[in-house]
Amino acid sequence: MVTFTAPHVDRVGNESRAEAAAVNPRILLIEDDRRLAEMVANYLGEFGFALTVVHAGNAGVALHARESFDAVILDLMLPDIDGLEVCRKLRAEGDTPILMLTARGDAMDRVVGLEMGADDYLPKPFEPRELLARLRSILRRRTGERASSEVLRFGRLEIDTEARQVRLEGEPRVLTSYQFALLLALAQRPGRVLSRETLMDAVSHDKLEAFDRSIDVHISRIRAAIEDDPKKPRRVITVRGAGYVFAKAQE
């Protein structure tokens, strides 16, 4: 078993790869190709993911039973046990999202994998960017499912994720759909600094404008709706040069 801890990277070329280093989703990668496994772990690590790598199916099943992971990337062809059987065992243990990889292009493999409980399927060879996009997608979907029946409460502030409504002292506050999504992304990670890029990615399904300064405008409107004094915010705090953080404790 090898664990790769996500490094802190501010900028690579023109693209930020910080991806909320404080969040660091834990990913279990079950892949017998050691060179590919290292490449995937290093690449995803640059985007804020913390990967644990095992090279056999039974070892992956055993580790998954002992530890908590946010998602599993699973190779279909493993040396000791078929990846479909690993998928079946993982799904029997819980609802951790599973992204399946395979060198076989048979459509039936894809169908069987999805029927076994995989959330998505990516054939080899693949572009690392596509793997990243698919992983983010299944994590977003799962976050949405878990949040759908929650009411988040922070003192006088309530965020109803099912009704998509914000209330302060019981009174509804008006936000647009993507302002609500921005607030929810922050409130689900209280105390963690989220970069503008991370926030844009978190609400991409709401089609937020594709430039990070738009975030600042929407944050100011969120503050106007939920802060006692928007000019001196106590809930949504700016961290200069890094992004925004939702204060953990508020009355």
Same domain as 102, residue 20: yes
For residue 37, is it within any domain?
yes
* End position of a domain, from candidates 88, 111, 146: 146
The domain boundary residue, chosen from 146, 173, 207: 146
Q: Is residue 251 part of a domain?
A: no
Domains of the chain: total: 2
Query: Of the candidates 97, 123, 146, which is a domain's last residue?
Result: 146
Same domain, 44 and 142: yes
Q: Average pLDDT by consecutive 10-residue portion of the chain (251 residues)? A: 49 38 78 94 92 95 93 93 91 85 69 72 88 87 59 90 87 84 90 86 54 72 93 94 84 58
In a domain, 110, yes or no: yes
Residue 57 neighbours by CB under 8 Å, 6+ apart: 30, 78, 79, 80, 81, 82, 83, 85, 86
pLDDT at 235: 94
Are 20 and 133 in a shared domain?
A: yes
Residue 12 sits in a domain of what CATH number? 3.40.50.2300
138 and 170 housed in the same domain: no
Judge whether 45 lies within some domain.
Answer: yes
* Distance, CA of 184 to CA of 30 (rounded, Å): 32
- Please state the pTM of the whole predicted model: 0.54
Residue 59 lies in a domain: yes
197 shares its domain with 231:
yes
Are 112 and 179 part of one and the same domain? no
- Tell me the H-state helices in 46-189: 57-66, 83-93, 107-116, 128-147, 177-187
Same structural domain, 23 and 108: yes
Domain that holds residue 171: 151-246
